Structure 1
Amino acid sequence: MASKPADAPLSDRRTTAGPDGDQIFAWIRDLTAFSARGTQTLDDHRSVDYLLGKFADFGLTDVQVQEADSLHWHATRSELSVGGTPIPHAPVVFSFDSGDGPFDTGKGSGPFSTGPDGITADIVDVGEGQEDDFAAATVDGKIVLFNLRFILPRRALLNAGKFVYDPHGSIDASDLDTANPYLSNFEDVVQRAIAQGAAGFVAVLADYFDSHDIRTEYKADVTVPGLWVTKKAGEQIRTLTAQGVSAATLRLEGERTTTPARTVIGFLPGVSSDTIMVQSHHDSAWEGGVEDASGTAEVLALAHHYSQVPQEQRPKTLMFVLMDSHWTGYQAHQKFVDTFITAPGLPRRIVANVTLEHIAKQAEVGPGGGLQVFDRPEYRGIFENVSPVLKSVIDSAVAAHGLERTVRLDADELVPLMGELPTDAEFVFAAGVPTISLISGPLYLYDRADTLDKVHKPDLAPVASAFIDIVDHLAATPSDRIGN
C-alpha cells in the first residue's frame, strides 16, 4: 500500500497499534508506588530515574533532567486545642513564611516555630471571611477561624464551553454546583487576617468531604501559621465557642529548605525543528494516582506511540516534558520557559503545547460527609487557544474516542477572568505558545484519598488515542496556522 504524503495527518497513515490501556495503567501503578513524589523527597528522585529509564527505552534522544531551585516545607509538629480540647487538624503547607525572604527567591530556608508553648489566644470566628465579617470582628493578636470555600463550580465551566460532549445525557444538574479545590477564597481571607494582625488561622474545609488531609498548591506570603480542620471539627470548635470557650492554642514547628526540582525531558526528532511539546507533571503530594501519575502515564503513552513512527513520517519534532515543582511554586516551569521558549537563538522552536492531566473518577461529598466515588469520568475541560480548524479537530477527536463529559473551553476568553490558565500549562501558555490542555478537577485532587483506585481506567487508552489524533493534526498544520 502506498504511504500517505508527509504533510497528511499521521492518523491517516498510522501503522502502529493504538495505546494499550493496561500498559498505561501499569505505568500509573509503578508511579504510585513512589508515594508522595514531592520535590526533594526520595520518591521524587526515584520517579525521575524511572521516567528517564522509560524515555531511554522508547529511544528518545537528548534525554535530560533540568534542575531548578524550588522549595521543600516540612512540619515536624502541630497541635490545636480549644479550651483544652484537642481538635483533629493538619498543617497548611507553606504557611508560617517567617524566614529571611519569600520562598520564591529561595531565601526563605530554615526552621519555623511558634515556640515551645505555641500560640495561645482567643479564637475569633469570621465566618465566610468577607470584608464585612472582618469589619465586625477584632482579630489583632487572635487566631482567626473561617470557612474555606471552593469557588469554581462545574456549572461555570460547562456554561463557558464552546463544545460539550455528553451523548448519553449523563450530566446531572444535581452535581453541577460541586466545585473543584483549585480556586478558593483562601488567599483573600488569609491576607485580610494578616493585614489586621492575626496571630494565626484555622481554615474550616466547609465544602469538603470528611478529611483534613488536603495539600493545596503553594501560596505566597502566608506569614502566620495555619491549620486545616474538617467541617465536623469546625462545628466542634463553634460549639465550644458558643459555650463561652474562647482560648485556643495553636502550635506549628518545622523546616523549609531550598531544594532542586527535576524536570524530565526527551525528544523525537522530526522532519522540521519546529516542535510540539507534550507535557504533564510527575510530582505529587500523596500517592497521586490521578494527580498526576495518570497525566504522566498519558505522556508516556504518546512518547511510546511516536517512538514507533519513523522520523521521516514525523513532520515536526516532538518534545516530551514531565515537570516538577507543581506543588512548590512552579520554579521548574519558569526555568523551562526561560530555557526552551523565550531564550534567543534556540535550535528548536516550540510551536504548540499539549498538556495532559487527571484521568479521574467523579466524586462527591456523600450523605454522611464522606467521599463518594462513582465509576464514571469526572467532568473535564480542554482549554485551548488554537485555530478554528484545530478546534474542530479537538471536537472530532473527543467524539471519535468517546471522551464523555468533556467540554472545550476558549482559554483566551477565560484566562483574563480567572487570572491564569488553571492547568500545568500556565507558564507555557503565558509565554505565547498555542496550547491544548486537558484537565479535570475531582474533589479529592489534593487529598491523601487520591489513590490508584481513583483513576478512571476505561478512559486511559481513549484519551491517549484522542490526543494522538490531535498531535497528528498539529504536526501536519503549518506552524504559523496553529494559533488563534
Structure 2
Amino acid sequence: MIILSEQPVVKSIGYHPFPPSTEEAWSYVEDVIEITRKHAEHRRAGTPGDQETRAYIAKRLREFGLQDVKEDSQTFTKRSYTEWHFEVGGTEIPSFPLRSSAFTPAEGIEADILYVDGMLSDDMNVAGKIVMMPINVTKTTYEAIAKGLADYVYDPKENLAKRDSCYLISVADNYPGAYYMAAKMGAVGFIGILPFETGTADFYPDSSMIVRPEIPALYIGKYNGEAIKERFEKQQIITARMDLRGTLDEFASTANVMGVLPGLTDDVVMVTTHHDTGWEGGVQDASGVATVLAVARYFADQPGDIYREKTLVFNFGANHFGWDYPASNTIFKDHNPELFNNLKAVIGVEHIAKEVRVENREYVPTGRVEPHVIWAPRSPMLRKWAQEAIERHDLADSLMIRPGSMALIGEAKKYYFSGIPAYQIISAPPYLYDSVDTIEMVAKDRLAPVANTVVDIVEQLTNLIPGNWIE
C-alpha cells in the first residue's frame, strides 16, 4: 500500500508555478517516514521498505506529470545480519555489525582480546586473537574547513566560528586499514570502538567505512570501549566471545527511480538524491527525497514549451550504502546511455539536518542547522549562479569548496569524476549513520530554502546557456 499525504493547494503565479514550500516538502518527508516505520529493515537496499519507497516516489512523479517514469534495476549481493553478540567476562556488551564483515562459525568465536591504542602495526602478535581498537574518525571544525578548503562562505550570523568541532564522518586515520591488517596477520575477529560522545554502537555507514568479508567484526560504543581498556591495562589477558550470524542473498534487487521532463533540446540537466538508508533516515535521506520531489513538482507545473530549453531528469538513486559508491551513477549510465551522453550538468541534494550537541550522552538540537557543504563547477559563472541563489534564499551556514581542494562527496560524485559539471549540497551531522537519525532530526524550515536554491540554479542552467558549457 502506498501512502500519500494530503497536499497543499498550489496555484501558478503568472507563468511561474508556486515555489516549493515548507509544507509541501515536509509532507513528502512524512510520507517516506511512514513507509519506513512499517519495515524492520527500514529502507535498506533490497528490502520491502526499499521497494515500497520506490513505488511511492514513482507514483508521485507520475502524478506530477513527468514522463518515462521507471525503475532502473540493479542486482547485487546483500549481506544481512540477523543475530550478533559480544561478551566480555560473561557480560553482554551492546554492539552492532561492522557492515560487510564475515560471519562467525555457528558456534561463535572465543578468544583473547588484543587492545590496540592507536595504530595496529605488523610487529604485534594478533594471531588467534580478537583485535580491539578505537576508530579514529577525523575531527575538525567548520571554521577550519571554511579557511582551508572553501573559497566562498555564506555565514551572515557568523555561526561557524561558534560551532564545536565536527566529525568528517566517513574518514578515519586507522581504519579500515587496521581491519585488513588484522585479518592478514591471523586475527579471528575485530572490534571497532566508535568515538561518539553518546556512546552509541549503532553505525550504518556507506562504502567509505565498510569492509570486505575477511573476519567477523563488530562496533561497540566509546564508554564500553574505555571500560574494557581500563580492565585490559590491569589484567592484560581478557577473553571475549563474538557471535555474528546472518544471510547472504546473491540475487538481491534494488533500483533507481527516475522521471523525465522533455525540453526543446536533448541537452540534459539532472537533479538527484538517494532513497535508501540504514535506519529511519529522516536526514539520510528522506530530506533529500522530499527536496527533489518538490523541485520536480515545480518544474512539472512549468510550461515546458516556453521555459525549458533543456531536458530535465530527476533521479532517486539506489544502493547508496553498497560498493561502487554511489552505485546510482553507474545504474543510470548503464540503463540510459543516450541521456548520460547528453548530460550537461548534475545537482545532488542530500542531508538537510539539525545541528546537535551532546547532553547526558544524548543528541540535543541546538536550534541551528548543520552547515551545508557545497561543491560547484569550476566555471566562475556557474559558481556565481549558485552563490546568488544561496544568498537569495538565505541558505545560511553554507561553505562552497574551492575547486581542487576536496573531491566531491555525494550522489553527484561519479558524474563529477566523469568531467560533467556538478553541484552537490550535503551535510554530515555526527548522527548521520546512527539509529537516532529520525524525522525529528530533519531541519524542517530549511527544506524549502534548499529546494528553491536548486530551482534557481536549474532555471539558469536550463534557460540561459546554449549547447555545451563543460569548458
Q: Please say if 1:370 is aligned against 2:362.
A: yes
Structure 1 counterpart of 2:319, from 322, 325, 345: 325
Cα 1:90/1:311, change in 2 over 3 Å: same
Q: Please say if 1:149 is aligned against 2:136.
A: yes
Q: Please say if 1:255 is aligned against 2:236.
A: no
CA distance in 1, matches of 2:241, 2:14: 67
TM-score, normalization: structure 1? 0.87
CA distance in 2, matches of 1:85, 1:137: 27
Structure 1 counterpart of 2:381, from 378, 386, 389: 389
**By how many angstroms is 1:135 displaced?**
4.6
Conserved 8 A contact 2:268-2:339: no
1:424-458 Cα offsets, whole Å, 9 max, x none, are: 21122222211001000011001110100111111
CA distance in 2, matches of 1:237, 1:449: 25
**By how many angstroms is 1:46 displaced?**
0.6
Conserved 8 A contact 1:154-1:379: no
Structure 2 counterpart of 1:86, from 86, 92, 98: 92
Conserved 8 A contact 1:83-1:247: yes
Conserved 8 A contact 2:99-2:211: no
Cα 1:85/1:243, change in 2 over 3 Å: farther
CA distance in 1, matches of 2:157, 2:328: 41
**Identity of aligned pairs, percent?**
29
Find the residue that maps to 1:414 and give its secondary structure: coil
CA distance in 2, matches of 1:413, 1:14: 41
Partner AA of 2:91 in structure 1: T
| Residue 102 (structure 1) aligns with | none
**By how many angstroms is 1:411 displaced?**
4.7
CA distance in 2, matches of 1:182, 1:168: 28
Cα 1:134/1:278, change in 2 over 3 Å: same
Conserved 8 A contact 1:61-1:266: yes
Partner AA of 1:457 in structure 2: K
CA distance in 1, matches of 2:340, 2:223: 56
Cα 1:222/1:209, change in 2 over 3 Å: farther
| Residue 100 (structure 1) aligns with | none
> Residues 347-358 of structure 1 correspond to what in structure 2 (within 5 A)?
349-358=342-351
TM-score, normalization: structure 2? 0.90
| Residue 204 (structure 2) aligns with | 215
| Residue 463 (structure 2) aligns with | 476
Cα 1:59/1:232, change in 2 over 3 Å: same
Structure 2 counterpart of 1:270, from 232, 256, 263: 263
Conserved 8 A contact 2:146-2:399: yes
Conserved 8 A contact 2:256-2:331: no
Conserved 8 A contact 2:263-2:311: yes
Q: Please say if 1:18 is aligned against 2:11.
A: no
Q: Please say if 1:178 is aligned against 2:166.
A: yes
Q: Unpaired runs of 5+ in structure 1? A: 1-11, 97-111, 416-420
Q: Please say if 1:232 is aligned against 2:223.
A: yes
What is the RMSD of the two structures over their aligned residues, measured on CA atoms? 2.0
Cα 1:471/1:77, change in 2 over 3 Å: same
CA distance in 1, matches of 2:421, 2:327: 21
| Residue 8 (structure 2) aligns with | none
Partner AA of 1:118 in structure 2: G
CA distance in 1, matches of 2:348, 2:138: 24
1:132-152 Cα offsets, whole Å, 9 max, x none, are: x42563112211111112226
Q: May I ask how many residue pairs the two structures share in their alignment? A: 444
Cα 1:268/1:174, change in 2 over 3 Å: closer
Q: Please say if 1:59 is aligned against 2:47.
A: no
Structure 2 counterpart of 1:428, from 393, 398, 415: 415
Cα 1:224/1:19, change in 2 over 3 Å: same
| Residue 27 (structure 1) aligns with | 28
Partner AA of 2:110 in structure 1: T
CA distance in 2, matches of 1:479, 1:355: 22
Conserved 8 A contact 2:196-2:221: no
Q: Please say if 1:409 is aligned against 2:401.
A: yes
Cα 1:351/1:291, change in 2 over 3 Å: same
Q: Unpaired runs of 5+ in structure 2? A: 1-12, 37-41
